[in-house]
Amino acid sequence: MPYNRATFITSAPDISRLPADSGIEVAFAGRSNAGKSSALNALTDQKLARTSKTPGRTQLINTFALDEERRLIDLPGYGFAKVPIEMKKKWQKSLGEYLQKRQSLKGIVVLMDIRHPMKDLDMDLINWAVGSNIPVLALLTKADKLKQGKRKAEVLQVRKALSELDGDITVHAFSSLKGLGLKELAWQLDDWFLGP
Ligand code: GTP
Ligand code: MG
């Protein structure tokens, strides 16, 4: 798929304001600051999604169109403590609703910082996806921060732990900065968007 042709559609405060629930959608999810928006920008080779050093930047459900039938979704990050409780509740609610109700959701890219993967909320999300038969691509982000040996060891460890869940889960190291794992991401998305 020509991911560089993605265009911004809308920022929705809740799922009622999303585009019609038809076609195929792939969502990028993960803790605040995990690198979701950066991964989307690297994939599309555009500055589509706002990135920030301040966690909690993406508070709306941002939607991008690849074509009439296919969309990429940048979900609000979870697990960031330092935001007002009301705001947190609101956007965690929209995240939960999106995951539970969206019929067009075909796959989830779960982004986790390679230095701190598989936190409780990550595991909640992955377990939910497995329970709902939604395939998961786990990207261990900011892999440029680790030396190669440590990076590989981390990928193997996460792969082993997640293989026990018995779901459709793939794990790769990823770096938006270095372009690492970008091909693997595009291949997985092609598979979800275009079928085998
Ligand atoms: P929220 O929208 O707040 O949930 O965050 P996010 O998951 O969208 O993270 P974002 O892409 O905004 O990146 C957060 C921070 O991590 C920014 O300072 C990025 O520059 C940095 N970052 C993202 N990807 C990488 C990477 O591959 N390597 C390094 N070294 N830093 C990265
Ligand atoms: Mg973001």
What's the pLDDT at 81? 62
Question: Yes or no: is domain 3-194 CATH 3.40.50.300?
Answer: yes
pLDDT over 70 at 58, yes or no: no
pLDDT category at 82 given cuts 50, 70, 90 is low
pLDDT over 70 at 2, yes or no: yes
Q: In sequence order, which residues have a C-beta less than 8 Å from that of residue 75 and are 6 or more positions away?
A: 27, 28, 29, 36, 58, 61, 95, 98
What CA–CA distance (Å, rounded) separates 79 from 23?
30
What's the pLDDT at 162? 98
What's the pLDDT at 94? 76
What CA–CA distance (Å, rounded) separates 31 from 50?
15
Least distant ligand from the CA of 91 = 1
Give the position, in ligand 1's atom list, of the atom nearest the Cα of 50: 12
Q: Best mutation site among 41, 52, 113, 185 for ligand 1, i.e. most ligand atoms within 8 A of its Cβ?
A: 52
pLDDT category at 60 given cuts 50, 70, 90 is confident
Q: What is the mean pLDDT of residues 37-61?
A: 82
What CA–CA distance (Å, rounded) separates 155 from 164?
15
Query: ipTM greater than 0.90, yes or no?
Result: yes
Closest CA to 32 of 86, 88, 73, 72: 88
pLDDT over 90 at 93, yes or no: no
Closest CA to 34 of 130, 138, 127: 138
In 45-166, which ranges are continuous DSSP H helix?
85-101, 120-131, 148-163
Give the position, in ligand 1's atom list, of the atom nearest the Cα of 41: 11
What CA–CA distance (Å, rounded) separates 137 from 162?
11
**pLDDT > 70: what percent of the chain?**
93
What's the pLDDT at 55? 64
Give the position, in ligand 1's atom list, of the atom nearest the Cα of 175: 27
Q: In sequence order, which residues have a C-beta less than 8 Å from that of residue 101 and are 6 or more positions away?
A: 15
| CB of residue 54 inside a 6 A radius of ligand 1 | no
* Ligand 1 atom 12: residue of nearest CA: 51
Element (DSSP H or E) covering residue 140: strand 136-141
In 36-141, which ranges are continuous DSSP H helix?
36-44, 85-101, 120-131
What CA–CA distance (Å, rounded) separates 6 from 192?
16
Q: Best mutation site among 43, 46, 51, 175 for ligand 1, i.e. most ligand atoms within 8 A of its Cβ?
A: 51
Q: What is the mean pLDDT of residues 3-18?
A: 91
Least distant ligand from the CA of 51 = 1
| CB of residue 62 inside a 6 A radius of ligand 1 | no
pLDDT over 90 at 165, yes or no: yes
* Ligand 1 atom 10: residue of nearest CA: 35
Closest CA to 132 of 113, 106, 160: 106
Edge-to-edge strands of the sheet including 24-30? 7-12, 61-65, 70-74, 24-30, 105-113, 136-141, 169-173
Least confident of 16-20, 53-57, 65-69, 183-187: 53-57
| CB of residue 38 inside a 6 A radius of ligand 1 | yes
